[in-house]
Amino acid sequence: MRWLWAPLLMLSTVAAADPVVLRMASVAPSGSPWARELANFGRQVEAGTAGEVRVRWYFNAVAGDEEEEWRRLQSGQLDGAASGQMLCEQAAPSLRISHLPGTFQDRDEAALVLGALQSVFEREAHGAGYQILALTGLGPSLFLTRRPVGSLDELRKVRLWRWSFDRVGTVGSKEMGLDVSPLPLYEAGPAFSAGRIDGFVGIPSAALAFQWSAQARYLVDLRVDYLFGCLVVSERAFSRLPPSHQVTLREAAAKLRERYEDMGRRIDDSLIGGLFQRQGITVLPVSEAFRAEFFAAARVAREKMGDRFVSKELLARVQSLLADYRAEHPTRAGSGSR
Give the per-residue pLDDT at 267: 87
Contact predicate 159/146, CB 8 Å = no
Answer yes or no: is 4 within a domain.
Answer: no
pLDDT for 273 equals 82
- Residue 93 belongs to a domain: yes
Q: How many domains does the chain have?
A: 1
Note the pLDDT of residue 329.
Answer: 84
Tell me whether strands 218-234 and 20-25 are parallel, antiparallel or unpaired.
Answer: unpaired
Residue 164 domain flag? yes
| CATH number, residue 284 | 3.40.190.170
Q: Is residue 218 part of a domain?
A: yes
pLDDT for the residue numbered 17: 52
Assigned domain for 7 exists: no
In a domain, 10, yes or no: no
Read off the pTM.
0.87
The answer to the question of residue 14 being in a domain is no
Full domain range(s) for residue 298: 19-328
Q: Which residue stretches of the chain have pLDDT < 70? A: 1-17, 331-338
Do the domain assignments include residue 236? yes
